[in-house]
Structure 1
Amino acid sequence: MAHDQTTPSPFTSDARPDRRTLLKGIGGVTAALASAPLLAACSGGSPSGEGGDKATSLGSGLSDAVPRSAVQAMVDAYQQKSGAAVKTNVMPRNELINNISTYLQSSPEDAITWFAGYRMRYYAAKGLLAPVDDVWEKIGGNFSEGIAKASTGDDGKKYLVPNYNYPWGFYYRKSVWQSHGYQIPATFDALLALCTQMKKDGLTPIAFADKDGWPAMGTFDYLNMRTNGYQFHVDLCAHKESWDQQKVKDVFDNWKALLPHQDPAALGATWQEAARSLATKKSGMYLIGAFIGQELTDPEVAADLDFFPFPAIAVEGTDAIEAPIDGFVLSAKGGRNQAAKDMLAFFGTGAGQDAYAAKDSSNLQTAKDANTSSFSALNRKGAEAIANAKYVSQFFDRDALPAMANNVMIPALQSFLKDGVVDTRNLESQAKTLYAAQ
Structure 2
Amino acid sequence: MNQSRRTLLKSAVALGAVPVLPALAACSGGDPAGAPENSKATSLGSGLADAVPKSGIQAMVDGFQRSSGDTVRLNVMPRQQLIDNVSTYLQSNPEDVITWFAGYRMRYYAGKGLLAPIDDVWEKVGKNFGTGLADASSYEGKKYLVPNYNYPWVVFYRKSVWQQHGYEVPATWDALLALCARMKKDGLTPIAFGDKDGWPAMGTFDYLNMRTNGYQFHVDLCAHKESWDSPKVQAVFDNWKQLLPYQDTGALGATWQQAARSLASKKSGMYLIGTFLLQELTDKAVVDDLDFFAFPEIAVEGTDAVEAPIDGFVMAKRAEKNQAAKDFLAYLGTGKAQDAYAAKDPSNLQTAADADRSTFSPIQKKAAELIANAKSVSQFFDRDALPAMANNVMIPALQSFLKDGKIDIKGLETQAKTLYASA
TM class, shorter-length: over 0.9
Match of 2:41 among 33, 40, 55: 55
1:427 pairs with 2:412: yes
1:261 pairs with 2:246: yes
Q: Which secondary structure does the structure 2 equivalent of 1:285 belong to?
A: strand
Q: CA separation in 2, counterparts of 1:188 and 1:207? A: 18
Alpha-carbon distance, 1:156 to partner: 1.5
User: Are residues 429 and 76 of structure 1, via their aligned partners in 2, closer, same or farther at CA, if it must alter by over 3 Å?
Assistant: same
Per the alignment, residue 122 of structure 1 pairs with: 108
Match of 2:236 among 251, 254, 267: 251
Q: Which secondary structure does the structure 1 equivalent of 2:209 belong to?
A: helix
- Aligned-partner residue type, residue 47 of structure 2: G
Kindly indicate whether the alpha-carbon contact (under 8 Å) linking 1:40 and 1:109 is maintained by their aligned counterparts in 2.
Answer: no
Q: CA separation in 2, counterparts of 1:329 and 1:90? A: 15
Alpha-carbon distance, 1:41 to partner: 2.3
1:91 pairs with 2:81: no
Number of aligned positions between the proteins: 422
Kindly indicate whether the alpha-carbon contact (under 8 Å) linking 2:37 and 2:321 is maintained by their aligned counterparts in 1.
Answer: no
Per the alignment, residue 355 of structure 1 pairs with: 340
TM superposition score normalised by structure 1: 0.94
Per the alignment, residue 65 of structure 1 pairs with: 51
Kindly indicate whether the alpha-carbon contact (under 8 Å) linking 2:35 and 2:319 is maintained by their aligned counterparts in 1.
Answer: no
Question: What are the superposed Cα offsets for residues 264-322 of structure 1, whole Å, 9 maximum, x if unpaired?
Answer: 10000000000000000000010000000000000100111110000000114101000
The Cα RMSD (Å) is 1.7
Kindly indicate whether the alpha-carbon contact (under 8 Å) linking 2:183 and 2:189 is maintained by their aligned counterparts in 1.
Answer: yes
Q: CA separation in 2, counterparts of 1:49 and 1:434? A: 37
1:403 pairs with 2:391: no
Alpha-carbon distance, 1:173 to partner: 0.5
Per the alignment, residue 161 of structure 1 pairs with: 146
Question: What are the superposed Cα offsets for residues 145-204 of structure 1, whole Å, 9 maximum, x if unpaired?
Answer: 000000001x21110000000000100111100111100000000000000000111000
Kindly indicate whether the alpha-carbon contact (under 8 Å) linking 1:206 and 1:286 is maintained by their aligned counterparts in 2.
Answer: yes
1:132 pairs with 2:118: yes
- Aligned-partner residue type, residue 127 of structure 2: G
Alpha-carbon distance, 1:17 to partner: 4.8
Q: CA separation in 1, counterparts of 2:6 and 2:284? A: 21
**Stretches of structure 2 lacking an aligned partner (at least 5 in a row):** none
Q: CA separation in 2, counterparts of 1:355 and 1:23? A: 30
- Aligned-partner residue type, residue 407 of structure 2: V
User: Are residues 267 and 117 of structure 1, via their aligned partners in 2, closer, same or farther at CA, if it must alter by over 3 Å?
Assistant: same
What is the 5 A alignment of 1:4-403?
17=5, 20-27=8-15, 29-30=16-17, 32-33=18-19, 36-37=21-22, 39-45=24-30, 49=35, 53-153=39-139, 155-403=140-388
Kindly indicate whether the alpha-carbon contact (under 8 Å) linking 2:133 and 2:376 is maintained by their aligned counterparts in 1.
Answer: yes
Q: Which secondary structure does the structure 1 equivalent of 2:72 belong to?
A: strand
Q: CA separation in 1, counterparts of 2:301 and 2:96? A: 38
Q: CA separation in 1, counterparts of 2:102 and 2:37? A: 31
Kindly indicate whether the alpha-carbon contact (under 8 Å) linking 1:17 and 1:291 is maintained by their aligned counterparts in 2.
Answer: no
TM superposition score normalised by structure 2: 0.97
User: Are residues 21 and 251 of structure 1, via their aligned partners in 2, closer, same or farther at CA, if it must alter by over 3 Å?
Assistant: closer
User: Are residues 49 and 234 of structure 1, via their aligned partners in 2, closer, same or farther at CA, if it must alter by over 3 Å?
Assistant: closer
**Stretches of structure 1 lacking an aligned partner (at least 5 in a row):** 1-9
Kindly indicate whether the alpha-carbon contact (under 8 Å) linking 1:45 and 1:109 is maintained by their aligned counterparts in 2.
Answer: yes
Kindly indicate whether the alpha-carbon contact (under 8 Å) linking 1:309 and 1:318 is maintained by their aligned counterparts in 2.
Answer: yes
Kindly indicate whether the alpha-carbon contact (under 8 Å) linking 1:46 and 1:57 is maintained by their aligned counterparts in 2.
Answer: no
Percent sequence identity is 72
Q: CA separation in 2, counterparts of 1:297 and 1:18? A: 20
Question: What are the superposed Cα offsets for residues 111-138 of structure 1, whole Å, 9 maximum, x if unpaired?
Answer: 0000101010001100111111110011
